[in-house]
Amino acid sequence: MRSALIIKIMGMYDSVIVRCSKCGAEHEFQSKSGECFLGVYTLEDCPDDVMVNVNRHSPHKCDCGVSIEVDIPSRKAIIVSGAS
């Protein structure tokens, strides 16, 4: 899979769309652990190998004031700070 290796070096990634569990806003989480063919997934259809790395830039700050990350075993967005 030489071509896949080259693409990873060029800095591609897969995206997982995660909805804020407080306000519902969509956030794009980036993962480099999967195939990295610029796939766009949701928490429901994301492959396991992409999920492994989904929190690499987490937590994500939402405009509503909370910070969210993905709870990988349950595939749910969780609030890690800012919840009132």
**In the complex, minimum distance from the CB of residue 79 to Zn ion, in angstroms, rounded to a whole number:** 9
**In the complex, minimum distance from the CB of residue 83 to Zn ion, in angstroms, rounded to a whole number:** 10
Main-chain dihedrals φ then ψ at residue 8, nearest 5 degrees: -65, -40
Taking residue 64's Cβ as centre, other Cβ atoms within 10 Å add up to 13
Sketch the per residue contact string, 9 through 28, with Zn ion: x for CB under 5 A, - otherwise. Answer: -----------x-xx-x---
Residues 35-64 that bind Zn ion (CB under 5 A): 62, 64
Contact 33, 41 (CB under 8 A): no
Residue 83 binds to Zn ion (criterion: CB under 5 A) = no
Strand partners of residue 16: 29, 41
